[in-house]
């Protein structure tokens, strides 16, 4: 089955954390079909924390949604993510956004991800790789969700220049956008 995942980090070497997470996925035989650029994104909900780096990926795996969630949580743990508060700082956050046209609503796993349609840091990277992918509950493609999104938080694509030529945190911008 193909899935869309959201990767995020706002602690330590954020870009390296996303790369390492993708490395762990590959090692677990999850095929990476498409990966978006990296985006610097303004924290939503809890503003007094560093900006995040976010990315969306499309992957292929035989795993069920439950098995994939267990793998994502084991990768988060292996990478050293400790218990975090909702919307708070985290070394790595791996979420399932979409699982083809699967709809499920359980206490521990909700697909499509319940907050994806209200978060530009999810929708902007997702639209880069799959603007036409359908949200099976809302019945709309990702591009329409982004066009209708009320989220006004900053999402900036990170250019292809090397990480050393630019600070990882847009401090100057931060002040302007916050
Ligand atoms: P956040 O909502 O900020 O990503 P966490 O990463 O701490 O918060 O996740 C909290 C819980 O969300 C997890 O323990 C997991 O069981 C649950 N969850 C429900 N639906 C999903 C999903 N689609 N992807 C990932 N986690 C999910
Ligand atoms: Mg999560």
pLDDT above 60 for 178: no
Reply yes or no on whether the pLDDT at 110 is more than 70: yes
The residue-averaged pLDDT of 19-34 equals 98
The DSSP result for 70-127, as a single string, is HHHHHHHHHTT-----TTS--S-EEEEEEETT--EE-SS-EES-TTGGG-HHHHHHHH
Burial-class residue 43 by CB neighbours within 10 Å (0-12, 13-18, 19+).
Answer: buried
Of all ligands present, the nearest one to the C-alpha of 3 is 1
Rounded to the nearest angstrom, the distance between the alpha carbon of 95 and the centre of ligand 1 is 6
- Ligand nearest the Cα atom of residue 116: 1
Please report which confidence band the pLDDT of residue 83 belongs to, taking 50, 70 and 90 as the band edges. low
Report the chain's terminal Cα–Cα distance, integer Å: 39
pLDDT at 46: 80
Domains along the chain with CATH numbers = 2-174 (3.30.70.560)
Length of the chain: 178
Task: Identify the band that residue 164 occupies on the pLDDT scale cut at 50, 70 and 90.
Answer: very low
| pLDDT band at 81; cut points 50, 70, 90 | confident
What pLDDT is stored for residue 80 in this prediction?
86
DSSP string, 12-58: SSHHHHHHHHHHHHHHTT-EEEEEPPPEEEPPSS--SSPPEEEEEEE
At residue 170, the pLDDT reads 52
Tell me: the pLDDT tens digits for 47-68? 888 999 999 999 999 999 999 9
The residue written with tokens 């630019």 in the block is 166
**11 has a pLDDT exceeding 80:** yes
Q: Which residues surround ligand 2, an ion (CB under 5 A)?
A: 93, 95
- Contact yes or no for 13/95 (Cβ under 8 A): no
Residue 25 has pLDDT above 50, yes or no: yes
On whether the CB atoms of residues 129 and 35 are closer than 8 A, the answer is: yes
Whether the full predicted model's pTM is greater than 0.75, yes or no, is yes
Report the nearest atom of ligand 1 relative to the CA of 112.
23
pLDDT at residue 90 in the model: 83
């Amino acid at each position: 089955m193909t899935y869309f995942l959201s990767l995020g980090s706002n602690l330590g070497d954020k870009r390296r954390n996303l790369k390492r997470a993708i490395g762990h996925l590959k090692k677990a035989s999850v095929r990476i079909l498409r990966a978006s650029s990296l985006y610097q994104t303004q924290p939503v909900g809890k503003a007094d924390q560093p900006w995040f780096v976010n990315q969306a990926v499309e992957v292929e795996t035989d795993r069920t949604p439950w098995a994939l969630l267990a793998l994502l949580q084991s990768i988060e743990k292996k990478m050293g993510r400790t218990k975090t508060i909702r919307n708070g700082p985290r070394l790595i956050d791996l979420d399932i956004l979409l699982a083809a046209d699967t709809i499920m609503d359980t206490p521990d796993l909700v697909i499509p991800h319940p907050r994806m349609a209200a978060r530009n840091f999810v929708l902007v990277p997702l639209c880069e790789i799959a603007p036409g992918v359908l949200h099976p509950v809302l019945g709309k493609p990702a591009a329409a969700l982004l066009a209708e999104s009320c989220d006004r938080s900053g999402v900036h694509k990170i250019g292809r220049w090397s990480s050393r030529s630019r600070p990882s945190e847009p401090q100057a911008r931060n002040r302007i956008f916050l």
